[in-house]
Amino acid sequence: MINLKIQFLLASLVLVFTFIATNAQTPTTRRDSKAAEAELIDLDRRLQEAMVAGDVKLLEQHLGDDFVFTHGWFQGGQETKGDLLKKAKKEPPRFYIYRKVSSQVAEMHGDIALILGRVDVRRLPLAKNKETEQMCYALNYVHLYERRKGVWQFVSHRTAQMVEKSLPCPKAAV
């Protein structure tokens, strides 16, 4: 009877220690996670700047083929990788004149990550007859990234909340 209790206790301890060992985050793992967070926050910023600068190479490298950009402020507001590349390839003035991110926070889940933040945008209007009038707005967003074959891919943009609705840009806006 005692022998059976000891075996049960030893087996239980082995299971507990195995669980702890496989689920414990070492300082190296936390450091790697912080490095990945910083890398993604920087990539998120650079991709917004690439839309303005027309850096198609960076966009093609990091936009997933299944990329979806879901707008929260107008009907039928979904765009694909092809739609964004088309805007980025346009000769200046491009559709996006200014896209500045701030307040970014990364949430890591292994090879999947969420970036939450704010983007202030200045863009050309949707209506073709108003080419000279620009629009400014700010929104909170959620970006989904997935590491595919060792490269972070931007998979989804979703507008979470409009902070400032579309309105003509003031003359002093950059």
pLDDT digits (tens, 9 = 90+) for 96-145: 888 999 999 999 999 999 999 999 888 877 666 555 577 888 889 999 99
Q: Is 133 exposed, middle or buried (0-12, 13-18, 19+ CB in 10 A)?
A: exposed
Handedness of CA 41, 141, 71, 36 (dihedral sign): positive
Mean pLDDT of 39-65: 95
Q: Which residue has the higher pLDDT, 167 or 161?
A: 161
- How many helices (H) and strands (E) in the chain? 4, 6
Mind listing the domains of the chain with CATH numbers? Answer: 26-168 (3.10.450.50)
DSSP sequence for 7-39? HHHHHHHHHHHHHHHHHPPPHHHHHHHHHHHHH
Question: What is d(CA 144, CA 101) in angstroms, rounded to the nearest whole number?
Answer: 15
